[in-house]
Amino acid sequence: MRKELKVLLLVVLLAQPALAEGITFGIGVAAGLDYPIVQEDQAKGTVFGFKGRVKAIPSIALEPNIYFTKYGDSDYEDFDLGLEGSKITAYGVDATLGASFGAVGVKPYGLFGVGFYKVKRDQVQQDKTDFGWSAGFGIEVGVNPTVGLDVRGKLVVIPTNGGASKKSASITGGLNYYFGN
Amino acid sequence: MNYLKRKLGIVGSVVALSLLAGCLLSGTFVFSYMLVENEDLIYNGDFYFASVDWTDDDDWEDHKGNIKDIDLVGFELWATNITGTADTFTVYVVDLQSNLDGGSTRSEVDSLATLAVNDLPIAASGQTHVTYGQSFKYLDNVETLKNLTEAGKFKLFAFMTSPSVNLTVDSLRVIVTLTAGT
């Protein structure tokens, strides 16, 4: 809970200068698929989440976000493990470079993010929160100044014990809505 | 602005390459090893005993030098109770240096070995199947099990609570989820 409060405080602090200058902000929702990378104990799952969008400086926007992932049950090839997939609650901030931010038309962008990843598997009483990061690319299609369609793919890396990490790739589609345009 | 974009693009590329390299360097793998197959637990008259060593197993050798973490240890059991009485199944383990062996008494095993599987219910006159996912609720001393698992060598003792119940273990395999480099 303390980590969540720190993230929330960071988001609020980052948003204050932008809002004070009357710069637009937006909100978004996204959903898609999440593919574990070299994780034999997980299978492809679903992800959905919410984000805010705040223009920090021209061409760079900050996105405080929260995403929920549910991996599928392990599909280990040799026999049925009967092992449930993990649930992940991720909350953090992404920075996007080149996003349209309320402009009409097609705009590709890159993104880099950091956040906390709470990985939980009730079946085995696993419940762990680690700091991780992500990077990827996306395309936003501005339908009009207030609505944008957003498609993005990103790699997520969650460092774990001993210098290893859990990795996944997600592809999501979503809708952004901008205020103040 | 273009200069800034170029700089950020370079940084982004470096980050992406690092991510890709990281993807190739570690992963989470499932290792399984058959401990018991088609064995009657009334073995040596009292319990089943085995000295386990999977350090030469090909799959284990793929990872053993690069293990970062043992995430989970569990088992899968297929067993047939040929008697008409329900009972419970228990497994103990010790490291190879222990003096306990097939000649030990059940009370010695009870008092000196580490309890691994605790009172797993076995139905009467039929087959019992416990999946890896279901096995965790029957495990005890998980940290000790993880240490023995990583060593790859230990002694195993398995028995029914009632010596008169004759259980055939169709298969009992240990299953390990581990994080390792590749």
For the stretch B110-123, pLDDT in tens is 999 999 999 899 99
Report the distance separating Cα B4 and Cα A63, nearest Å: 20
Residues A165, B131: C-beta atoms closer than 8 Å: no
Whether the CB-CB separation of A136 and A4 falls below 8 Å is answered with no
Whether the CB-CB separation of B143 and B51 falls below 8 Å is answered with no
Distance of CA A132 to the CA centre of its chain: 11
Q: What count of other Cβ atoms lies within 10 Å of the Cβ of residue A110?
A: 23
pLDDT band at A17 (very low <50, low <70, confident <90, very high): very low
CA distance B172 to chain A (A): 13
pLDDT band at A23 (very low <50, low <70, confident <90, very high): very low
Greater model confidence, B69 or A152 = A152
**At residue B175, what are phi and psi to the nearest 5 degrees?**
-130, 130
- Average pLDDT score over residue span B58-82: 91
- For residue range A80-125, what is the model confidence (pLDDT) as tens digits? 899 999 999 999 999 999 877 778 889 999 999 999 999 999 998 8
Q: What is the ipTM of this complex?
A: 0.76
Q: What is the DSSP letter of A162?
A: G
Report the distance separating Cα B159 and Cα A111, nearest Å: 57
Enumerate the residues of chain A whose CB falls inside 8 A of the CB of residue B139.
Answer: none
Residues A41, B71: C-beta atoms closer than 8 Å: yes
Q: What count of other Cβ atoms lies within 10 Å of the Cβ of residue A59?
A: 18
Report the distance separating Cα B110 and Cα B157, nearest Å: 10
Judge whether residue A180 has pLDDT over 80.
no
Report the distance separating Cα A93 and Cα A134, nearest Å: 10
Report the distance separating Cα B146 and Cα B97, nearest Å: 17
CA distance A35 to chain B (A): 13
Nearest residue of A to residue B31, measured between CA atoms:
A40
CA distance B151 to chain A (A): 17
Nearest residue of A to residue B15, measured between CA atoms:
A135
Residues B69, A98: C-beta atoms closer than 8 Å: no
Give the torsion through C-alpha atoms of A164, A170, A174, A179, to 10 deg: 20
Q: Which residues of A touch B (CB under 8 A)?
A: 37-42, 58-59, 74, 76, 78-84, 97-98, 110, 112, 123-126, 135, 155, 157, 160-167
Percent of chain A with pLDDT over 70: 87
Report the distance separating Cα B148 and Cα A179, nearest Å: 59
- For residue range B137-178, what is the model confidence (pLDDT) as tens digits? 999 999 999 999 999 999 999 888 887 888 889 999 999 999
CA atoms within 13 A on the CB side of B6: 3
Nearest residue of B to residue A109, measured between CA atoms:
B9
> Judging by DSSP bridges, how do beta strands A87-97 and A60-72 pair with one another?
antiparallel
The answer, as to whether pTM is greater than 0.90, is no
